Homo-oligomer: A and B are copies of this chain.
Amino acid sequence: MGSTFGHLFRITTFGESHGGGVGVIIDGCPPRMEIDVEEIQFELDRRRPGQSKITTPRKETDTCEIMSGVFEGRTTGTPICIMVRNKDQRPGDYSEMATTYRPSHADATYDAKYGFRNYQGGGRSSARETIGRVAAGAIAKKILKQVSGIEIIGYVKKIKDLEATNIDSNTVTLADVESNIVRCPDSTCADEMIAKIEAIGKAGDSIGGIVECVARGLPKGLGEPVFDKLEADLAKGAMSLPASKGFEIGSGFAGTLMTGSEHNDEFYIDEAGNTRTRSNRSGGTQGGISNGENILIRVAFKPTATIRKAQNTVTKDGEETVLSARGRHDPCVLPRAVPMVESMVALVLCDHLLRQQGQCSLIDW
């Protein structure tokens, strides 16, 4: 059951890096919404390998096909299946991985769990699985935009020790993010990031960083007590992405250094008569429920596990050995992680939008 996410807007992904293909079923999509395959392809292109000099050279166009659930350009309300066939497969590149475990990768744990695994290209643990999430995220984003005017913008906040300080989460746009290949809207910092990623790639090593993501325009009231708090579901979504190691919302870990009187977001009434908060250390939720301010999260991604540098490791049969990974890898996952984080945020918000509509909008008693 681990391949399903969401309750009312629910997705189930399938597929491995090598094999027939990867994809997703979206069940519970509101009916009658216009869907253009190009909108989905746009997001997949932001995720695909080979898109720039700082991503893996694996060449996949990741061209998607809508198998069901859309008729005459509109959603029918029934399951939407979107599929991408695998193309640029080089199983030979992975023969060594049949027996040798890559450090900090899932080879050993899949074998321990299932007693068996598809060792080609990471199998189910490949980032290729996120194609289904990003395709579904494209649809979730559209619903959020059309129903509530919600916008979700993710960007690279930090690469290793290079932190972008010149980004305003209240105003940053998709165009700002897409203005450079590292997806950091602080263009000065972006240049440094790109150089650093290129250098580490040439060295056969890898680096990580932090993606920040803002959701603007949320209505108040999304999220549910007590386990399905908005931040709990966002955390689960983010921490289910490959290579993520940490999650925070609003003030996050830095918030632990403040006192309550410094940290609390004081309320005020704005000119339009709305209840607002002067600060947003809460990150857009209080008690797990959206308060109408921006949702602001950060996700930490470790350096890519697969590197060319030689590493000590072991084989499936319990022999110690040395591995210098071949195959084609990203020296840094961050630029491609941006649409993944956005997608998980969109999936969580869309699910909660429908849930709120289901429970709380029936009647005005």
Contacts and interface: CB of A to CB of B under 8 A. Distances in A.
A228 interface: yes
A175 interface: no
Given A67-B14, A68-B15, A240-B229, A103 B266 contact: yes
Contacts of A245: 231, 248-253, 255-256, 283
Interface string A285-306: 1111111100000001111111
A267 B314 contact: yes
Contact of A77 (B113, B258, B285, B292): B113
Given A229-B240, A300-B253, A303-B258, A318 B273 contact: yes
B14 A289 contact: no
Interface string A13-45: 111100111110101111111100000000000
A238 B237 CA distance: 13
Nearest to A31: B114
Number of copies: 4
A104 interface: yes
A220 B114 CA distance: 10
A291 B256 contact: no
Interface in A226-255: 226-229, 231-240, 242, 244-253, 255
Given A114-B31, A300-B256, A319-B269, A354 B362 contact: yes
B360 A260 contact: no
Contact of A229 (B4, B239, B290): B239
> Quick one: which of A16, A76, A106, A304 has the most chain B CB within 10 A?
A76
Contacts of A361: 357, 361
A74 interface: yes
Contacts of A166: none
Interface string A302-317: 1111110101111000
Contacts of A236: 227, 232-233, 235-236, 239
Contacts of A22: 68
Interface stretch (A54-62, A178-186, A187-195, A202-210): A202-210
Contact of A2 (B225, B231, B253, B258): B225
A221 B109 contact: yes
Given A123-B76, A302-B256, A239 B235 contact: yes
Interface residues of A, number: 163
A115 interface: yes
A263 interface: yes
B289 A220 contact: no
Contacts of A282: 104
B124 A225 contact: yes
Q: Looking at A25, A106, A306, which has the most chain B CB atoms within 10 Å of its CB?
A: A25
A74 B234 CA distance: 31
8 contacts: A3-B79, A12-B27, A20-B67, A108-B220, A205-B260, A227-B236, A245-B255, A267-B312
A118 B71 contact: yes
